[in-house]
Amino acid sequence: MNSITDPHTLPRPRAGIARIPVYSAALPGATPVLFRASSNEAATAPSAAVVAAVTTATQAGNRYPALHGADLIASLAASVGQPVGRIAVGDGSLSLLNYLLLAFLEPGHRVVYAWRSYEAYPICVLTCGGEPAAVPLAADFGHDLDAMAAAIDDTTDVVILCNPNNPTGMAFGADALADFLARVPSHVLVVLDEAYRDFTGPDLAFEATGFLEQHPNLVLLRTFSKAYALAGLRVGYLVASDAIVAAVSAVLPPFPVAAAGVAAAVTSLGEPEVRDDLVHAVLAGREAMTEVLVSAGLPVVPGNGNFLWIPLGPASAELAGRLREAGITVRLFAGEGVRITVGEPGLAEAVGRALAIAETGA
């Protein structure tokens, strides 16, 4: 048989590709979607200034953006109070996590993370040829930091901490992080994913850049998708030691963020009041949604994100289906729980009506 047409000679993916799980999606259904509460997006559109900046950037779309995102890095350096050599940017914090693993994870070595946590973590680890090492959450649905520290062995290259944790919303404070870092060998990379840091309650909120000097193995991952309402423009950044940033930059593409994303992010950094208004709306929406869910007799984890976790176990699919019938999409983790994004005007009331109808059987 001609080798050109022989199916046994066609390109084959790496053996580990078959192990990569599929990123989940909201439940399909015939009912039109009235509220999309499944993706932890901001409920409000970007500001007029951001839209204008993006429009201007697209008018010069025939030109490449600044090499390495240097203009965005300069704005971020001023914003977070760190030298430009300690910042790298990319098309979302998830993309930067992939590049971190590509730079620091040896094939077959382990990455320790909590579970359940962000569902992309095992995808990233397996994509980069590593071995996932998931550590069960504590009874309160937060990270079991003691168990995670104990899970680190000689083949562990990376530990990922999601704070606040997605999808459960639980967070830990500065003291807990300090204690954990003190127990991690200095050659192990610790990635602190802070995608939801802006929504953390005041008793647990802290500025993690203060840990970088004492712990040069620490990396902070942050995003413009949530509090800055730029999810569709794909912008994220990391803050770390010069050595870590240099290693990541070696594998990053030369133009890691599109010009429109750069323009949006730089403009957003100059509008802190817009971010603050969005955060306040989310916190108010989280409180309102908590009241609705508790009144309906549902278990709710007192989270710190722009979402709430409803740990219903086997009954999770029923709740997700009820809400989908009412035009409300949520993220179902079958057999575990339901995550519902908060902050959109009218959403809590719509959920309350849907649950009331379910209760009465109307």
pTM of the model: 0.95
Same domain, 56 and 181: yes
pLDDT digits (tens, 9 = 90+) for 33-76: 999 999 999 999 999 999 999 999 999 999 999 999 999 999 99
pLDDT at position 9? 78
How far apart are alpha carbons 333 and 166 in whole angstroms? Answer: 12
Last residue of a domain, one of 216, 242, 269: 269
CATH of the domain at 91: 3.40.640.10
Assess whether pLDDT exceeds 90 at residue 83: yes
pLDDT at position 360? 58
pLDDT at position 358? 60
Same domain, 201 and 319: no
pLDDT at position 11? 87
Q: What is the mean pLDDT of residues 18-28?
A: 84
Same domain, 115 and 220: yes
Same domain, 218 and 338: no
Assess whether pLDDT exceeds 80 at residue 357: no
Do the domain assignments include residue 143?
A: yes
Q: What is the mean pLDDT of residues 240-247?
A: 98
Q: What is the mean pLDDT of residues 209-237?
A: 98
Do the domain assignments include residue 4?
A: no
Q: What is the mean pLDDT of residues 195-205?
A: 96
Token pair listed for 115: 């579970």
pLDDT at position 30? 61
Same domain, 149 and 71: yes
Same domain, 72 and 192: yes
Do the domain assignments include residue 1?
A: no
Least confident span in 17-31, 172-186, 283-297:
17-31
**Chain position carrying tokens 């504590």:** 138
pLDDT at position 12? 86
Assess whether pLDDT exceeds 70 at residue 296: yes
Same domain, 164 and 301: no
CATH of the domain at 326: 3.90.1150.10
Query: Is 167 within 8 Å of 337 (Cβ atoms)?
Result: yes
Last residue of a domain, one of 219, 250, 269: 269
Assess whether pLDDT exceeds 70 at residue 339: yes
Do the domain assignments include residue 16?
A: yes
pLDDT class of 244 with cuts at 50, 70, 90:
very high
**Mean per-residue pLDDT of the chain:** 95
Closest CA to 88 of 263, 275, 235: 235
Q: What is the mean pLDDT of residues 217-229?
A: 98
How far apart are alpha carbons 291 and 300 in whole angstroms? Answer: 10
Strand (E) or helix (H) holding 226: none
pLDDT digits (tens, 9 = 90+) for 168-180: 999 999 999 999 9
Contacts of 166 (CB under 8 A, 6+ apart): 40, 117, 118, 195, 196, 305, 307, 339
Assess whether pLDDT exceeds 60 at residue 361: no
Same domain, 244 and 124: yes
Do the domain assignments include residue 206?
A: yes
Last residue of a domain, one of 269, 285, 305: 269
pLDDT at position 60? 96
pLDDT at position 26? 72
Q: What is the mean pLDDT of residues 186-199?
A: 98
pLDDT digits (tens, 9 = 90+) for 137-159: 999 999 999 999 999 999 999 99
pLDDT at position 14? 87
Do the domain assignments include residue 69?
A: yes
List the alpha helices (DSSP H) in the chain: 48-59, 70-80, 93-104, 120-127, 145-151, 174-183, 242-251, 259-269, 272-295, 316-325, 347-360
Query: Is 54 within 8 Å of 260 (Cβ atoms)?
Result: yes
Do the domain assignments include residue 43?
A: no
Same domain, 170 and 88: yes
Please, is 195 exposed, middle or buried when counting C-beta atoms within 10 Å of its C-beta (0-12, 13-18, 19+)? Answer: buried
Same domain, 304 and 245: no
pLDDT at position 274? 98
Range of the domain at 213: 48-269
Assess whether pLDDT exceeds 80 at residue 221: yes
- The DSSP code sequence of 307-321 is EEEE--GGGHHHHHH
Same domain, 34 and 179: no
Do the domain assignments include residue 157?
A: yes
Assess whether pLDDT exceeds 90 at residue 98: yes
Same domain, 119 and 186: yes
pLDDT at position 286? 98
**CB 176: neighbour CB atoms within 10 A?**
17
pLDDT class of 10 with cuts at 50, 70, 90:
confident
Assess whether pLDDT exceeds 60 at residue 122: yes
pLDDT at position 3? 58
- The DSSP code sequence of 95-158 is HHHHHHHHHHPPTT-EEEEEESS-THHHHHHHHTT-EEEEEEPPTTSS--HHHHHHH--TTEEE
The total domain count for the chain is 2
